[in-house]
Structure 1
Amino acid sequence: MFRKFRILLLLVVLATVGLASWRASSRLTAWQHTVHVALYPVAADDSPETQRYVASLNQESFEEIGEWVAAQVGRYGKTVLQPVVIRVAAPLRELPPAIPVRGSGLDNILWSLKLRWWASQNDAIAGPKPMVRLYVLYHDPARTPKVPHSTGLERGQIGIIHAYAARQQHRQNAVVIAHEMLHTFGATDKYNLSTLQPIAPDGLADPQRTPLYPQRQAEIMAGRIALAVDRAEIPPRLADTLIGSATAREIGLLN
Structure 2
Amino acid sequence: MFRKFRILILLLVLATVGLGAWRSNSRLTAWEHTIHVAIYPIAGDDSPATASYIRGLNNESFLEIAQWMQQQTEKQGLAILQPVALRVAPPLAETPPLRPNQPSALDAMLWSLKLRRWASQHDQIDGPKPHVRLFVLFHDPARNPSMPHSTGLSKGQIGVIHAYASRQQRRQNAVVITHEMLHTFGATDKYDLATLQPIYPQGYAEPGRDPRLPQEMAEIMGGRIPLDEQNAEIPTSLADTLIGWQTAQEIGFLRSTGKNGQN
Question: TM-score range with shorter-chain normalisation?
Answer: over 0.9
For each residue in 1:173-207, what CA deviation from the matched residue of structure 2 results, as whole angstroms up to 9, or x when unmatched? 00000000000000000111111111111111111
Q: Which residue pairs with 2:26 in the alignment?
A: 26
Matches of 2:168 and 2:126, distance apart in 1: 29
State the shift of 1:4 in Å.
4.1
Q: Which residue pairs with 2:144 in the alignment?
A: 144
Matches of 1:69 and 1:198, distance apart in 2: 21
Identity %: 67
For the aligned residue pairs, the C-alpha RMSD in angstroms reads 0.9
* One-letter amino acid of the counterpart of residue 252, structure 1: G
Aligned with 2:187: secondary structure? coil
Q: Which residue pairs with 1:125 in the alignment?
A: 125
Matches of 1:193 and 1:229, distance apart in 2: 15
State the shift of 1:12 in Å.
2.1
* One-letter amino acid of the counterpart of residue 144, structure 2: T
* One-letter amino acid of the counterpart of residue 82, structure 1: Q
Q: Which residue pairs with 2:98 in the alignment?
A: 98
Matches of 2:114 and 2:30, distance apart in 1: 28
Q: Which residue pairs with 2:155 in the alignment?
A: 155
User: Which TM-score applies when normalising by structure 1?
Assistant: 0.98
Q: Which residue pairs with 1:42 in the alignment?
A: 42
State the shift of 1:7 in Å.
2.6
For each residue in 1:102-126, what CA deviation from the matched residue of structure 2 results, as whole angstroms up to 9, or x when unmatched? 1111000000000000000000001
For each residue in 1:122-160, what CA deviation from the matched residue of structure 2 results, as whole angstroms up to 9, or x when unmatched? 000011111100000000111111010000001110000
Q: Which residue pairs with 1:61 in the alignment?
A: 61
Q: Which residue pairs with 1:74 in the alignment?
A: 74
* One-letter amino acid of the counterpart of residue 111, structure 2: W
State the shift of 1:5 in Å.
3.6
In the alignment, structure 1 residue 218 sits paired with structure 2 residue 221 = no
* One-letter amino acid of the counterpart of residue 44, structure 1: G
State the shift of 1:98 in Å.
1.7
Q: Which residue pairs with 1:189 in the alignment?
A: 189
In the alignment, structure 1 residue 116 sits paired with structure 2 residue 132 = no
* One-letter amino acid of the counterpart of residue 238, structure 1: L
Aligned with 2:126: secondary structure? coil
For each residue in 1:220-250, what CA deviation from the matched residue of structure 2 results, as whole angstroms up to 9, or x when unmatched? 0011111111111011100110000010011
State the shift of 1:8 in Å.
3.0
Matches of 2:253 and 2:123, distance apart in 1: 28
Matches of 2:210 and 2:110, distance apart in 1: 47
* One-letter amino acid of the counterpart of residue 166, structure 1: S
Aligned with 1:228: secondary structure? coil
Q: Which residue pairs with 2:171 in the alignment?
A: 171
User: Which TM-score applies when normalising by structure 2?
Assistant: 0.95
Q: Which runs of 5+ in 1 are unaligned?
A: none
* One-letter amino acid of the counterpart of residue 75, structure 2: R
Aligned with 2:72: secondary structure? helix
Q: Which residue pairs with 1:232 in the alignment?
A: 232
In the alignment, structure 1 residue 107 sits paired with structure 2 residue 107 = yes
* One-letter amino acid of the counterpart of residue 167, structure 2: R
Matches of 1:220 and 1:16, distance apart in 2: 31
4+ runs of 1 displaced by more than 6 Å? Answer: none
Q: Which residue pairs with 1:134 in the alignment?
A: 134
* One-letter amino acid of the counterpart of residue 179, structure 1: H
Matches of 1:4 and 1:194, distance apart in 2: 34
Matches of 1:82 and 1:111, distance apart in 2: 33
Matches of 2:195 and 2:7, distance apart in 1: 38
* One-letter amino acid of the counterpart of residue 181, structure 1: M
Matches of 2:216 and 2:84, distance apart in 1: 26
Q: Which residue pairs with 1:202 in the alignment?
A: 202
Matches of 1:5 and 1:227, distance apart in 2: 52
State the shift of 1:213 in Å.
1.0
Matches of 1:221 and 1:233, distance apart in 2: 14
